[in-house]
């Protein structure tokens, strides 16, 4: 009965319906080749020997297409902090969020927040920068990841250049790589100065195409969905319907499958079939916000 589930999750079938519904909302990593390649690239960057001009990376993709989840997975595998034998706290990777608009001081504050370091927002930009450099060196940080990189497009051209120059200076002084994560628009900020563009490689997290790779992804999803019967999500008819509704967007597909699974449990059907998929009203209004409800 449970052969369609990954062995690590077969015990979930013994839970109550409520327990299984709660399980659906827990975070689980669904691996796929592009994500694995990017994670390996990040690991290699983190382990590069220090040199005057460190390579940087910009990861771009559509909103809700798995970029932040990918970074979280990398952090879990390679970036968790620890205490060395000499009692020194080590933070090998720092993941900060870009300020809402291009602002050097806001960038430093965002980084200090990740160190849980005390600071005063009224301090000068120079002093905050000194604190950031001190924290990186004290915690032996090897990689800085800046999420929501595209946010820095908000603001004047002068402010954009200032914040990018600040990132370049940190990279140079600390001799560590910097990784930006954002929407495709984030590439534009690299063109504020040819030097910035030459320092960053760009890798895209693409939307899924309706192909065997997408079918394998659906099979991976099915192996963690707490349903008592196999759904055969990778079958052509179901795969086509799921791709059309999700648009090949990883986050939208994940949400869609979660909702289908909840309906399969509460209805007693215990499998996702075309009828359940078609019962869901899944629309994308202007502004990119998805609304979901079940047809009566």
Sequential pLDDT tens for the chain (296 residues):
678 898 988 999 999 999 999 999 998 899 899 999 999 999 999 999 988 889 999 999 999 999 999 999 999 999 988 888 777 889 999 999 999 999 999 999 999 999 998 999 999 999 999 999 999 999 999 999 999 999 999 988 899 999 999 999 999 999 999 999 999 999 998 888 788 788 899 999 999 999 999 999 999 999 999 999 999 999 999 999 999 999 999 999 999 999 999 999 999 999 999 999 988 766 543 445 555 555 44
**Does one domain contain both 169 and 100?**
yes
Q: What is the pTM of this model?
A: 0.89
Query: Does 127 share its domain with 256?
Result: no
Residue 31 burial class via C-beta count within 10 angstroms: exposed 0-12, middle 13-18, buried 19 and up: exposed
249 lies in the same domain as 284: yes
* Structural domain that includes position 162: 33-205
One domain, residues 50 and 127? yes
Residues 127 and 262 occupy one common structural domain: no
How many domains does the chain contain in total?
2
Half-sphere exposure of 134 (CA within 13 A, CB side): 10
- Rounded Cα gap, residues 26 and 48, in angstroms: 34
């Amino acid at each position: 009965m449970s052969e369609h589930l990954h062995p690590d999750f077969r015990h979930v079938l013994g839970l109550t319906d409520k327990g299984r519904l709660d399980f659906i909302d827990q975070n689980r990593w669904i691996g796929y080749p592009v994500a694995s390649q990017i994670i390996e690239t990040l690991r290699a960057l983190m382990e590069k020997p220090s040199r005057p001009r460190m390579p940087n990376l910009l990861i771009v993709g559509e909103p809700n297409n798995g970029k932040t989840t990918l970074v979280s997975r990398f952090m879990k595998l390679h970036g968790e902090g620890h205490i060395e034998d000499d009692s020194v706290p080590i933070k090998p990777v720092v993941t900060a969020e870009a300020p809402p608009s291009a602002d050097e001081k806001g960038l430093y504050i965002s980084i200090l927040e990740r160190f849980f370091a005390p600071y005063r927002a009224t301090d000068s930009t120079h002093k905050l920068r000194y604190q950031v450099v001190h924290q990186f060196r004290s915690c032996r940080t090897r990689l800085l990841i800046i999420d929501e990189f595209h946010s820095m497009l908000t603001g004047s051209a002068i402010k954009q250049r200032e914040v990018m120059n600040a990132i370049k200076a940190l990279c140079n002084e600390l001799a560590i790589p910097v990784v930006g994560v954002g929407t495709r628009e984030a590439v534009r900020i690299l063109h504020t100065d040819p030097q910035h563009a030459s320092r960053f490689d760009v890798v895209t997290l693409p939307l899924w195409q309706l192909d065997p790779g997408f079918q394998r992804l659906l099979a991976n999803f099915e192996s963690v969905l707490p349903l008592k019967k196999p759904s055969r999500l990778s079958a052509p008819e179901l795969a086509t319907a799921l791709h059309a509704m999700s648009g090949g967007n990883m986050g939208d597909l994940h949400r869609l499958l979660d909702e289908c699974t909840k309906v399969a449990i509460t209805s007693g059907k215990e499998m996702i079939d075309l009828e359940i998929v078609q019962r869901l009203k899944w629309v994308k209004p202007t502004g990119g916000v998805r609304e979901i409800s079940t047809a009566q």
